[in-house]
Amino acid sequence: MSDIRKSVVLLGCFDTKGEDFAFLRSCILSHGETVVTINTGVYGSTADFPVDFEADEVASAAGHALSELRERADRGHAVDVMGKGAARILAHLHEAGALKAAVGMGGGGGTYIAIAAMQSIPLGIPKLCLSTFASKDLSRQVGSKDITLMPSVVDVAGLNSISRMLIRQAAAAICAMANAAATAEEAAMAAPRRVAITMFGNTTACVAACTDLLKAKGYEVFVFHANGVGGQTMESLIHEGCFHGVLDLTTTELADELCGGICSAGPDRLAAAAACGIPQVAAPGCMDMVNFAHLDTVPAHYRHRQLHSWAPDVTLMRTDASENRRLGQLLTSKLARAQAPTAVLLPLYGLSQLDADGSFFFAPLVNEVLFDTIKETAAGQVEVIEVAAHINDGLFAKRAVETLIRLMGHVTA
């Protein structure tokens, strides 16, 4: 299709839920918006309203023929394909400047397709899904995206007084979100002054000090909780070009990925800044620990290890020398791919609040294995700086901020 104005995009399975989507579309139009429609239903369409992208175009965008999906009759495969195809169409609409917001609705399959498609839309463009699954744990499907989930209460399977009310509210919500004006502060995001920082409870003092120092110098600071989702979110936003520098002080998610903890951010953690050419300073913050839930959830092969109850539902395991050696190698292998100035700061007197003299995880000799491995394996373009301080000492925060600003100066000056 051609000549698309900036519009609210409506996507879903029009083959089985045409009546519901027709009502949603009419509600959005009543708010003065234009609507672009994408049909992700494999077995038909609707005559209730114009369809801008039919199912055959969606399947084709994912490299498949609609006839193939019908003949195969594999629902799971079809849902996956249509989600990927819709994602590519949404990405093209965004690139063309035609995407104002996106809204979908459905049951299990429709929800999966809508959320998968919305993964291609960057931060700040409103995304809403009215779903029968909204009250379930969809964290894996939503991931790091700013997707709003709204319970449908009743199934999306024909109109009634409840569904009409909620669809009308969903339309009002997406239209209001699409027209929320950016503040002057948000409009100034083009200035090269945005820094991402990672934090854990055990590095709070360090991050707070760094934040104060950066703000005093005119930088905008974005803190991410290094709990798995937080690290994934930061990596995603780095790829979207949201930051000009990264102060990755809490790389504990690598330890969880290595040892099977609950705060793993996946194998791509610490890759985005390197790939995108963003200056970064990393530190092995909280690499002294792996996170598990309640004590009885700790895997049997770790029950003999040094464990500490951080909270009733959080059990921490102290990393050992062997794990520290592997973590050091993992850290430097990721940073070696950096396309911008990069440094590692080593806090010689401790990696976390618990790794302080007299505290539960204080183990200088184990930390030495980590530090020595980093120094031995760091590539030539990665600067390694030893700081005679604990990670939560003011001196370490000062050196971290000074180093990042220096590295950013090589790029932004």
In our burial notation (b when 16+ CB lie closer than 10 A, e otherwise), range 91-110 reads: bebbeeebbbbbbbbbbebb
Overall average pLDDT of the 158-164 stretch: 93
Q: Are 86 and 113 in contact (CB under 8 A)?
A: yes
Overall average pLDDT of the 241-248 stretch: 95
In our burial notation (b when 16+ CB lie closer than 10 A, e otherwise), range 295-326 reads: eeebeeebeeeebeebeeebbbbbbeeebbbb
Span 186-222, pLDDT tens digits? 555 555 689 999 999 999 999 999 999 999 999 999 9
- Taking each helix axis from N to C end, the angle separating 321-335 and 364-377, rounded to the nearest 10 degrees, works out to 30
One-letter amino acid for residue 336 of the chain: A
Measured in degrees and rounded to the nearest 5, phi and psi for residue 42 equal -80, -30
Overall average pLDDT of the 239-264 stretch: 96
Report the C-alpha gap between 242 and 235 in whole angstroms.
10
Q: Are 354 and 289 in contact (CB under 8 A)?
A: yes
The CA R_g of the chain, rounded to the nearest whole Å, is 24
Report the C-alpha gap between 130 and 152 in whole angstroms.
6
Overall average pLDDT of the 25-29 stretch: 97
Full DSSP string of 140-209: HHHTTS-EEEEE-SS-SSS--HHHHHHHHHHHHHHHHHHT-PPPHHHHTTTSS-EEEEEE-GGGHHHHHH
Confidence of residue 395 (pLDDT cuts 50, 70, 90): very high
Report the C-alpha gap between 28 and 263 in whole angstroms.
40
One-letter amino acid for residue 340 of the chain: A
Q: Which residue has the tokens 């104002």?
A: 100
pLDDT of residue 303: 95
Confidence of residue 413 (pLDDT cuts 50, 70, 90): very low
pLDDT of residue 138: 87
pTM of this structure: 0.77
Mean predicted lDDT score pLDDT of the chain = 93
Give the domain ranges of the chain: 7-178, 185-412
Residues 6+ apart with CB under 8 A from 13: 39, 40, 41, 42, 106, 109, 110, 113
Domain 7-178 superfamily per CATH? Uncharacterised protein family UPF0261, NN domain (3.40.50.12020)
Distances (CA, A) of 376 to 17, 333, 350, 372: 60, 12, 20, 6
Span 58-85, pLDDT tens digits? 999 999 999 999 999 999 999 999 999 9
Higher pLDDT, 180 or 332: 332
Span 89-146, pLDDT tens digits? 999 999 999 999 999 999 999 999 999 999 999 988 999 999 999 988 888 888 889 9
Overall average pLDDT of the 367-390 stretch: 96
Cα 17 from chain centroid (whole Å): 31
- Taking each helix axis from N to C end, the angle separating 394-412 and 204-216, rounded to the nearest 10 degrees, works out to 50
Q: Are 120 and 88 in contact (CB under 8 A)?
A: yes
Report the C-alpha gap between 113 and 258 in whole angstroms.
31
Overall average pLDDT of the 256-279 stretch: 96
H-state helical runs in 240-297: 253-259, 272-276
pLDDT at 31 over 70: yes
pLDDT of residue 1: 42
Report the C-alpha gap between 291 and 157 in whole angstroms.
42
Distances (CA, A) of 306 to 227, 283, 319, 347: 21, 23, 8, 22
Question: Into which CATH architecture does domain 185-412 fall?
Answer: 3-Layer(aba) Sandwich (3.40)
pLDDT of residue 319: 98
pLDDT of residue 3: 43
7-178 against 185-412: fold identical: yes
